[in-house]
Amino acid sequence: MMESSFWKDRRVFVTGGTGFVGANLVNTLKQLGALVICLRRDHITPSSLDALGIGESVSFVDGSVEDHDLIERVLNENDVDTVFHLAAQAIVGSANRSPLSTFETNIRGTYMVLEACRRSPLVTRVVVASSDKAYGDQTELPYTEDLKLNARYPYDVSKACTDMISASFAATYGLPVAVSRSANIYGPADLNLSRIIPGTIISVLKGEDPIVRSDGTPVREFIYVDDVVSGYLALAENIESASGHAFNFGTNAPVRIVDLVNQIINACDATDTVAPNVLLKEKIKNEIDAQYLSGEKMREVTGWSPSVPLEVGIVRTVDWYRAKIEMWK
Protein backbone atom coordinates (compact mmCIF):
# COMPACT_ATOMS: atom_id res chain seq x y z
CA MET A 1 0.00 0.00 0.00
CA MET A 2 1.18 3.55 -0.72
CA GLU A 3 1.85 5.83 2.23
CA SER A 4 1.09 9.56 2.02
CA SER A 5 -0.28 11.73 4.81
CA PHE A 6 -1.20 14.23 2.10
CA TRP A 7 -4.46 12.35 1.47
CA LYS A 8 -5.53 11.78 5.09
CA ASP A 9 -9.08 13.21 5.51
CA ARG A 10 -8.83 15.05 2.16
CA ARG A 11 -12.20 15.36 0.43
CA VAL A 12 -11.99 13.88 -3.04
CA PHE A 13 -14.52 13.59 -5.87
CA VAL A 14 -13.94 10.91 -8.53
CA THR A 15 -15.84 10.64 -11.78
CA GLY A 16 -15.60 7.24 -13.45
CA GLY A 17 -14.91 5.65 -10.07
CA THR A 18 -16.90 2.49 -10.83
CA GLY A 19 -14.74 1.69 -13.86
CA PHE A 20 -11.50 -0.25 -13.97
CA VAL A 21 -8.96 2.53 -13.40
CA GLY A 22 -11.28 4.65 -11.28
CA ALA A 23 -12.01 1.76 -8.93
CA ASN A 24 -8.30 1.15 -8.38
CA LEU A 25 -7.83 4.89 -7.72
CA VAL A 26 -10.72 4.93 -5.23
CA ASN A 27 -9.34 1.85 -3.49
CA THR A 28 -5.94 3.50 -3.02
CA LEU A 29 -7.44 6.81 -1.88
CA LYS A 30 -9.53 5.03 0.74
CA GLN A 31 -6.46 3.14 1.98
CA LEU A 32 -4.67 6.49 2.31
CA GLY A 33 -7.51 7.87 4.43
CA ALA A 34 -9.16 10.18 1.91
CA LEU A 35 -12.89 10.90 2.07
CA VAL A 36 -14.04 9.81 -1.37
CA ILE A 37 -17.29 10.42 -3.25
CA CYS A 38 -17.88 8.71 -6.61
CA LEU A 39 -20.17 9.80 -9.39
CA ARG A 40 -22.15 6.83 -10.71
CA ARG A 41 -24.12 7.05 -13.95
CA ASP A 42 -25.31 3.44 -14.19
CA HIS A 43 -25.73 0.95 -11.37
CA ILE A 44 -24.18 -2.06 -13.11
CA THR A 45 -23.33 -5.16 -11.10
CA PRO A 46 -20.65 -6.23 -10.69
CA SER A 47 -18.62 -3.07 -11.12
CA SER A 48 -14.87 -2.94 -10.80
CA LEU A 49 -15.41 -1.62 -7.27
CA ASP A 50 -17.34 -4.80 -6.49
CA ALA A 51 -14.57 -6.90 -8.04
CA LEU A 52 -12.09 -5.22 -5.68
CA GLY A 53 -14.41 -5.91 -2.75
CA ILE A 54 -15.11 -2.29 -1.84
CA GLY A 55 -18.39 -1.60 -3.62
CA GLU A 56 -20.37 -1.51 -0.38
CA SER A 57 -18.00 0.91 1.36
CA VAL A 58 -17.98 3.72 -1.23
CA SER A 59 -20.16 6.84 -1.13
CA PHE A 60 -22.00 7.44 -4.41
CA VAL A 61 -23.84 10.26 -6.11
CA ASP A 62 -26.00 9.06 -8.99
CA GLY A 63 -25.92 11.16 -12.14
CA SER A 64 -23.88 12.02 -15.21
CA VAL A 65 -20.88 14.22 -15.89
CA GLU A 66 -22.99 16.26 -18.31
CA ASP A 67 -25.15 17.51 -15.39
CA HIS A 68 -23.33 20.70 -14.39
CA ASP A 69 -25.77 21.64 -11.62
CA LEU A 70 -25.37 18.22 -9.99
CA ILE A 71 -21.57 18.35 -10.14
CA GLU A 72 -21.50 21.88 -8.72
CA ARG A 73 -23.83 20.89 -5.88
CA VAL A 74 -21.73 17.83 -5.00
CA LEU A 75 -18.52 19.86 -4.91
CA ASN A 76 -19.99 22.59 -2.73
CA GLU A 77 -22.08 20.50 -0.34
CA ASN A 78 -19.20 18.10 0.35
CA ASP A 79 -16.39 20.67 0.61
CA VAL A 80 -14.47 18.86 -2.15
CA ASP A 81 -10.82 19.83 -2.41
CA THR A 82 -9.59 17.46 -5.15
CA VAL A 83 -11.26 16.19 -8.33
CA PHE A 84 -10.14 13.26 -10.46
CA HIS A 85 -12.08 13.30 -13.73
CA LEU A 86 -11.84 9.81 -15.21
CA ALA A 87 -15.39 9.33 -16.50
CA ALA A 88 -15.36 8.56 -20.21
CA GLN A 89 -16.58 6.23 -22.90
CA ALA A 90 -13.29 4.37 -23.01
CA ILE A 91 -13.77 1.59 -25.58
CA VAL A 92 -12.54 2.53 -29.05
CA GLY A 93 -14.93 0.16 -30.86
CA SER A 94 -17.93 1.52 -28.97
CA ALA A 95 -16.83 5.07 -29.73
CA ASN A 96 -16.71 4.33 -33.45
CA ARG A 97 -20.18 2.77 -33.34
CA SER A 98 -21.69 5.57 -31.27
CA PRO A 99 -19.76 8.82 -31.72
CA LEU A 100 -22.56 11.05 -30.40
CA SER A 101 -22.68 9.48 -26.94
CA THR A 102 -18.87 9.41 -26.88
CA PHE A 103 -18.65 13.13 -27.64
CA GLU A 104 -21.36 13.92 -25.10
CA THR A 105 -19.61 12.07 -22.30
CA ASN A 106 -15.98 12.70 -23.14
CA ILE A 107 -16.17 16.28 -24.40
CA ARG A 108 -19.29 17.88 -22.92
CA GLY A 109 -18.76 15.96 -19.71
CA THR A 110 -15.26 17.39 -19.39
CA TYR A 111 -16.21 21.03 -19.75
CA MET A 112 -19.18 20.61 -17.43
CA VAL A 113 -16.96 19.13 -14.72
CA LEU A 114 -14.28 21.78 -15.20
CA GLU A 115 -16.80 24.61 -15.12
CA ALA A 116 -18.19 23.29 -11.85
CA CYS A 117 -14.64 23.13 -10.50
CA ARG A 118 -13.97 26.68 -11.68
CA ARG A 119 -17.02 27.95 -9.83
CA SER A 120 -16.14 26.15 -6.61
CA PRO A 121 -13.98 28.20 -4.23
CA LEU A 122 -12.74 25.06 -2.47
CA VAL A 123 -11.39 22.96 -5.35
CA THR A 124 -7.62 23.37 -5.38
CA ARG A 125 -6.50 20.54 -7.67
CA VAL A 126 -8.01 18.73 -10.66
CA VAL A 127 -6.55 15.81 -12.61
CA VAL A 128 -8.11 14.89 -15.97
CA ALA A 129 -7.47 11.54 -17.64
CA SER A 130 -6.70 11.71 -21.34
CA SER A 131 -4.93 9.05 -23.41
CA ASP A 132 -2.03 8.40 -25.73
CA LYS A 133 -4.71 8.04 -28.42
CA ALA A 134 -5.01 11.85 -28.46
CA TYR A 135 -1.72 11.92 -30.40
CA GLY A 136 -3.18 10.01 -33.34
CA ASP A 137 -0.65 8.79 -35.90
CA GLN A 138 2.85 10.21 -35.45
CA THR A 139 6.15 9.64 -37.21
CA GLU A 140 8.26 10.52 -34.17
CA LEU A 141 8.72 7.91 -31.44
CA PRO A 142 8.45 7.90 -28.52
CA TYR A 143 5.63 10.45 -28.32
CA THR A 144 6.54 13.57 -26.37
CA GLU A 145 4.09 16.11 -24.98
CA ASP A 146 5.13 18.82 -27.42
CA LEU A 147 3.88 16.86 -30.45
CA LYS A 148 0.84 18.20 -32.25
CA LEU A 149 -2.30 16.24 -31.39
CA ASN A 150 -3.23 14.46 -34.60
CA ALA A 151 -6.42 12.63 -33.62
CA ARG A 152 -8.79 11.55 -36.40
CA TYR A 153 -11.29 9.00 -35.10
CA PRO A 154 -14.11 9.53 -32.55
CA TYR A 155 -12.43 8.23 -29.39
CA ASP A 156 -9.09 9.81 -30.27
CA VAL A 157 -10.71 13.15 -31.09
CA SER A 158 -12.72 13.13 -27.87
CA LYS A 159 -9.52 12.68 -25.87
CA ALA A 160 -7.71 15.42 -27.79
CA CYS A 161 -10.64 17.72 -27.02
CA THR A 162 -10.44 16.74 -23.34
CA ASP A 163 -6.80 17.79 -23.41
CA MET A 164 -7.42 21.14 -25.05
CA ILE A 165 -10.44 22.03 -22.94
CA SER A 166 -8.44 21.38 -19.78
CA ALA A 167 -5.58 23.55 -21.04
CA SER A 168 -8.08 26.29 -21.87
CA PHE A 169 -9.50 26.34 -18.34
CA ALA A 170 -6.00 26.51 -16.91
CA ALA A 171 -4.85 29.31 -19.23
CA THR A 172 -8.01 31.41 -19.14
CA TYR A 173 -9.24 31.02 -15.57
CA GLY A 174 -6.20 29.78 -13.70
CA LEU A 175 -7.96 26.53 -12.85
CA PRO A 176 -5.39 24.19 -11.23
CA VAL A 177 -5.81 21.29 -13.66
CA ALA A 178 -3.31 18.80 -15.09
CA VAL A 179 -3.85 16.16 -17.78
CA SER A 180 -2.53 12.62 -17.98
CA ARG A 181 -1.92 10.90 -21.32
CA SER A 182 -1.56 7.26 -20.44
CA ALA A 183 -0.44 4.24 -22.38
CA ASN A 184 -2.73 1.18 -22.38
CA ILE A 185 -3.63 0.37 -18.78
CA TYR A 186 -3.95 -3.16 -17.40
CA GLY A 187 -4.27 -4.88 -14.05
CA PRO A 188 -6.80 -6.27 -11.55
CA ALA A 189 -10.55 -5.58 -11.84
CA ASP A 190 -10.72 -4.78 -15.56
CA LEU A 191 -14.03 -6.42 -16.43
CA ASN A 192 -13.99 -5.48 -20.11
CA LEU A 193 -12.72 -8.59 -21.88
CA SER A 194 -12.58 -6.82 -25.24
CA ARG A 195 -9.26 -5.43 -24.06
CA ILE A 196 -6.30 -7.56 -25.08
CA ILE A 197 -4.85 -8.38 -21.66
CA PRO A 198 -7.92 -9.41 -19.63
CA GLY A 199 -9.48 -11.07 -22.67
CA THR A 200 -6.36 -13.12 -23.31
CA ILE A 201 -5.98 -14.08 -19.66
CA ILE A 202 -9.54 -15.35 -19.34
CA SER A 203 -9.29 -17.28 -22.60
CA VAL A 204 -6.06 -18.97 -21.54
CA LEU A 205 -7.29 -19.77 -18.02
CA LYS A 206 -10.35 -21.43 -19.62
CA GLY A 207 -8.12 -23.49 -21.90
CA GLU A 208 -9.04 -21.60 -25.06
CA ASP A 209 -6.76 -20.20 -27.75
CA PRO A 210 -6.60 -16.40 -27.29
CA ILE A 211 -7.68 -14.45 -30.37
CA VAL A 212 -5.39 -11.75 -31.78
CA ARG A 213 -7.61 -9.53 -33.94
CA SER A 214 -4.75 -8.28 -36.12
CA ASP A 215 -1.61 -9.72 -37.65
CA GLY A 216 0.08 -9.44 -34.25
CA THR A 217 2.76 -6.99 -35.37
CA PRO A 218 1.51 -3.65 -33.96
CA VAL A 219 3.72 -2.32 -31.18
CA ARG A 220 2.00 -0.90 -28.11
CA GLU A 221 2.86 0.13 -24.57
CA PHE A 222 1.15 -1.19 -21.44
CA ILE A 223 1.27 0.28 -17.96
CA TYR A 224 0.17 -1.39 -14.72
CA VAL A 225 -2.83 0.23 -13.04
CA ASP A 226 -1.03 0.80 -9.71
CA ASP A 227 1.53 2.92 -11.55
CA VAL A 228 -1.22 4.95 -13.19
CA VAL A 229 -2.89 5.55 -9.83
CA SER A 230 0.39 6.70 -8.29
CA GLY A 231 0.84 8.99 -11.30
CA TYR A 232 -2.57 10.59 -10.75
CA LEU A 233 -1.72 11.18 -7.10
CA ALA A 234 1.65 12.64 -8.05
CA LEU A 235 0.02 15.14 -10.41
CA ALA A 236 -2.48 16.19 -7.75
CA GLU A 237 0.22 16.53 -5.09
CA ASN A 238 2.35 18.64 -7.46
CA ILE A 239 -0.45 20.68 -9.01
CA GLU A 240 1.37 24.00 -8.54
CA SER A 241 4.03 22.98 -11.07
CA ALA A 242 1.83 20.62 -13.12
CA SER A 243 -1.20 22.86 -13.76
CA GLY A 244 -1.88 23.69 -17.38
CA HIS A 245 0.27 20.85 -18.67
CA ALA A 246 -0.26 17.39 -20.10
CA PHE A 247 1.94 14.50 -18.97
CA ASN A 248 2.68 11.13 -20.50
CA PHE A 249 2.32 8.03 -18.34
CA GLY A 250 4.65 5.65 -20.14
CA THR A 251 6.99 2.78 -19.36
CA ASN A 252 9.56 2.99 -22.16
CA ALA A 253 8.91 -0.71 -22.78
CA PRO A 254 6.91 -1.19 -26.00
CA VAL A 255 5.94 -4.71 -27.01
CA ARG A 256 4.50 -6.42 -30.10
CA ILE A 257 0.96 -7.63 -29.54
CA VAL A 258 1.74 -11.24 -30.41
CA ASP A 259 4.69 -11.21 -28.00
CA LEU A 260 2.42 -9.81 -25.28
CA VAL A 261 -0.04 -12.65 -25.83
CA ASN A 262 2.73 -15.23 -25.63
CA GLN A 263 3.96 -13.62 -22.42
CA ILE A 264 0.48 -14.00 -20.92
CA ILE A 265 0.35 -17.64 -22.02
CA ASN A 266 3.66 -18.23 -20.25
CA ALA A 267 2.44 -16.47 -17.10
CA CYS A 268 -0.62 -18.75 -17.11
CA ASP A 269 1.64 -21.84 -17.42
CA ALA A 270 -0.31 -22.88 -20.51
CA THR A 271 2.35 -23.11 -23.22
CA ASP A 272 1.55 -26.76 -23.93
CA THR A 273 -2.22 -26.31 -24.30
CA VAL A 274 -2.97 -22.99 -26.03
CA ALA A 275 -1.45 -20.77 -28.69
CA PRO A 276 -2.30 -17.35 -30.17
CA ASN A 277 -4.98 -17.47 -32.86
CA VAL A 278 -3.74 -14.67 -35.12
CA LEU A 279 -6.69 -13.80 -37.35
CA LEU A 280 -5.06 -11.69 -40.04
CA LYS A 281 -2.07 -12.22 -42.30
CA GLU A 282 -1.74 -8.51 -43.06
CA LYS A 283 -2.10 -5.50 -40.80
CA ILE A 284 -5.42 -3.68 -40.59
CA LYS A 285 -5.75 -0.69 -42.91
CA ASN A 286 -5.05 2.60 -41.07
CA GLU A 287 -3.85 0.77 -37.95
CA ILE A 288 -0.93 2.58 -36.39
CA ASP A 289 2.22 0.44 -36.47
CA ALA A 290 3.70 1.65 -33.19
CA GLN A 291 2.67 3.83 -30.26
CA TYR A 292 4.69 4.44 -27.14
CA LEU A 293 5.47 7.38 -24.87
CA SER A 294 8.33 9.31 -23.33
CA GLY A 295 7.80 9.75 -19.60
CA GLU A 296 10.67 12.21 -19.12
CA LYS A 297 8.49 15.28 -18.46
CA MET A 298 6.56 13.50 -15.71
CA ARG A 299 9.81 12.45 -14.02
CA GLU A 300 11.25 15.96 -14.22
CA VAL A 301 8.19 17.76 -12.85
CA THR A 302 6.86 15.33 -10.24
CA GLY A 303 9.57 12.73 -9.68
CA TRP A 304 7.14 9.98 -10.68
CA SER A 305 8.12 7.02 -12.80
CA PRO A 306 6.49 3.60 -13.21
CA SER A 307 7.78 0.87 -10.92
CA VAL A 308 6.10 -2.30 -12.22
CA PRO A 309 7.79 -3.96 -15.24
CA LEU A 310 5.47 -5.61 -17.74
CA GLU A 311 6.55 -9.15 -16.84
CA VAL A 312 5.83 -8.49 -13.15
CA GLY A 313 2.52 -6.77 -13.81
CA ILE A 314 1.35 -9.58 -16.08
CA VAL A 315 2.03 -12.18 -13.37
CA ARG A 316 0.18 -10.10 -10.77
CA THR A 317 -2.75 -9.63 -13.14
CA VAL A 318 -2.92 -13.32 -14.04
CA ASP A 319 -2.91 -14.21 -10.34
CA TRP A 320 -5.83 -11.86 -9.69
CA TYR A 321 -7.94 -13.27 -12.55
CA ARG A 322 -7.09 -16.82 -11.58
CA ALA A 323 -8.44 -16.14 -8.09
CA LYS A 324 -11.61 -14.58 -9.58
CA ILE A 325 -12.15 -17.01 -12.46
CA GLU A 326 -15.58 -18.03 -11.14
CA MET A 327 -16.85 -14.63 -12.32
CA TRP A 328 -16.41 -15.82 -15.93
CA LYS A 329 -17.79 -19.37 -15.63
Please give the angle made by the CA atoms of 38, 107 and 104, to the nearest 5 degrees.
85
101-110 pLDDT, tens digit per residue, is 999 999 999 9
What integer pLDDT is reported at residue 68 of this predicted model?
A: 97
Q: What is the average pLDDT across 13-33? A: 97
Average pLDDT, the chain: 94
Distance CA 125, CA 32 (A): 17
232-282 pLDDT, tens digit per residue, is 999 999 999 999 999 999 999 999 999 999 999 999 999 989 999 988 777
Q: Known catalytic residue: 155?
A: yes
What integer pLDDT is reported at residue 38 of this predicted model?
A: 97
Q: What is the average pLDDT across 202-223? A: 94
Distance CA 270, CA 204 (A): 7
Q: What is the average pLDDT across 289-307? A: 96
139-189 pLDDT, tens digit per residue, is 999 999 999 999 999 999 999 999 999 999 999 999 999 999 999 999 999
What integer pLDDT is reported at residue 212 of this predicted model?
A: 92
pLDDT band of residue 2 (cuts 50, 70, 90) is low
Instruction: Quote the percentage of the chain above a pLDDT of 90.
Output: 86
Residue partners of 26: CB distance under 8 A and separation at least 6: 14, 17, 36, 38, 49, 54, 58
Q: Which of 111, 135, 143, 155 is catalytic?
A: 155
Domains annotated on the chain, with CATH? 8-183+225-252+287-307 (3.40.50.720)
